[in-house]
Amino acid sequence: MLNGHDKGYQAQTQNNAIQHTIQLIERLYHYDKTGELTLIKDTRRGAIHYKYDPVGRLLEATSKLGKETFNFDPASNILDRYNSTQEQSSQHTATQKGLGYNRLVNNVVQEYLDQQYQYDAFGQLIRQKSSQGDLNLEWDVLGRLVRSRNNQYTAEYRYDALGRRIQKRSKHHHTGQEQNIIYGWDGDTLAYEASADITKHYFYEKDSFVPLLQAAYHHSIELHQIQDWTEKTYSIYKDPLWNTVKQSQGFDDVWFYHCDHLGTPQEMSNQTGAIVWKAQYKAWGECKVEQAKSDFFENSEIISNNIRFQGQYYDGETGLHYNRYRYYSPYVGRFISKDPIGLLGGFNVYSYVPNPVGWVDPFDLSPKKGNSQKENNNNTTCTIGKMIRVRHYTNRKGSNAIELTQKILAVDNNRVYVEPANKKPLSQIEAEDKYQIKQGKGRDYVEFDVLESRTEWVKNPRYHREELTIKGNVINPCNLVVNRRR
């Protein structure tokens, strides 16, 4: 990004910008051989380093915010986290930093660092206790959060017939200040939000949740009044929605988003190229925001951004992210209620994504790979060319890891051993006998499509028989089906 000047967030005149054109933003991305993002070199945030375990789960993230480390149980729940930051709370005792501090019962988090959690019979979070005070949550019969209360705010939430949040009303306990925000939608993307003082419209990349720009005018939105047609025949000619005389208004301010590889907003700039908002994130979405100073920008108090990971909207009163069907806690890296589509979204109904550096979940239903995977010849996403269906035998741990990470690692001679899937699968005993693998290794199997040009018949050095193989890791296996046997 060029033009503008960032010192003090100070905008420049056009002539000054032309004479002193500088680079404002540069981000360089580095990947390992498996396609995992290992380093971001950011001119504003410095170097951000990532480390992973063999199945692609994030173990460590190091940035200017400090060093975060993670451990996981077999279901990929984060067991504990240790943050070595200058801002670290003194309440994080040695016991809290130790392994296993996150207690899970029935797949719900009971404790995490300095927070304790309580749930209702449906697995929905109803109370969060911490050194900062308690957060109490109430839910309706459809599993939607309708009320929150802590020591500062009480907020109420309303939804439309499609489950999209359309209103948030909050009141500050000490000042008595009330705020009413209404939300409008374009399908599943947030189109606008409006309060008494300002209306903000959001524009996105085509068919995407990645924001492009935020446009605002300094008053509330004017909504059409809907008539009651219950006692009279509906007429499109009398419906104000189809007969409006109001003209669209020009925007008072327009700010442009600059996002990272996942589509998460990192900066916003104005029309001169000056940065008016920027943020730094921890691995699972906790955000430290830096806004423009009022000395340099008119109406700088309205410059803000609540969009976080794709599809997520930050609620300041709770610290949670609204994510279309559910709410997400960036502190724990989990949703606070179960996946509404159940196990169709994965075997862990509270999990966000396997890896927050490479995955997104805009609908909070089923995670998908973001744009972080480096494109290479080993990527087997569905593409043009002759495809064949193959089968790979593994154990339960392996099938879980393949489903979780969408990767099949080439651990034997840098090859993945498969067989054509046009015949009936072998039984567990038959698979273990034919391929001379350890007992239990043939319990499960996965089937997927692969480019025929990627397959090769090679002689297995163990028992000197030709087998069908794929050289290198299989990333994003096309039309993957995981089969688990009892």
User: Which domain-ending residue is among 343, 362, 397?
Assistant: 343
CATH number of the CATH domain containing 393: 3.20.170
Q: Are residues 174 and 319 in the same domain?
A: yes
Q: What is the pLDDT of residue 89?
A: 40
Q: Are residues 304 and 398 in the same domain?
A: no
Q: Are residues 168 and 280 in the same domain?
A: yes
Tens digits of pLDDT across the chain (486 residues): 443 434 434 344 444 444 556 678 899 999 998 889 999 999 999 999 999 998 889 999 999 999 999 988 777 778 765 544 434 443 444 344 444 445 556 678 888 888 999 999 999 999 999 988 999 999 999 999 999 999 999 999 999 999 999 999 999 999 999 999 999 999 999 999 999 989 999 999 988 999 999 999 888 888 877 778 888 888 888 887 777 776 667 888 999 999 999 999 999 999 888 899 999 999 999 999 987 654 445 556 678 999 999 999 999 999 999 999 999 999 999 999 999 888 777 778 899 998 999 999 998 887 887 753 433 334 444 555 678 999 999 998 888 888 888 889 888 888 899 999 998 999 999 988 888 778 877 889 999 999 888 899 998 877 778 899 998 889 888 888 999 887
Q: Are residues 300 and 422 in the same domain?
A: no
User: Which domain-ending residue is among 312, 343, 374?
Assistant: 343
Looking at the domain assignment, is residue 109 inside a domain? no
Looking at the domain assignment, is residue 15 inside a domain? yes
| Cα angle 458, 461, 465; round to 5 | 55
Query: Whole-angstrom Cα distance, residue 390 to residue 474?
Result: 12
Looking at the domain assignment, is residue 253 inside a domain? yes
Q: Are residues 314 and 174 in the same domain?
A: yes
What's the domain count of the chain?
Answer: 2
Domain extent at residue 399: 387-483
Q: Are residues 391 and 333 in the same domain?
A: no
Looking at the domain assignment, is residue 171 inside a domain? yes
- Give the phi and the psi of residue 372 in degrees, each rounded to 5: -80, -20
Report the Cα–Cα distance between both ends of the chain, in Å, rounded: 55
Q: What is the pLDDT of residue 66?
A: 93
Q: Are residues 135 and 264 in the same domain?
A: yes
Q: What is the pTM of this model?
A: 0.70
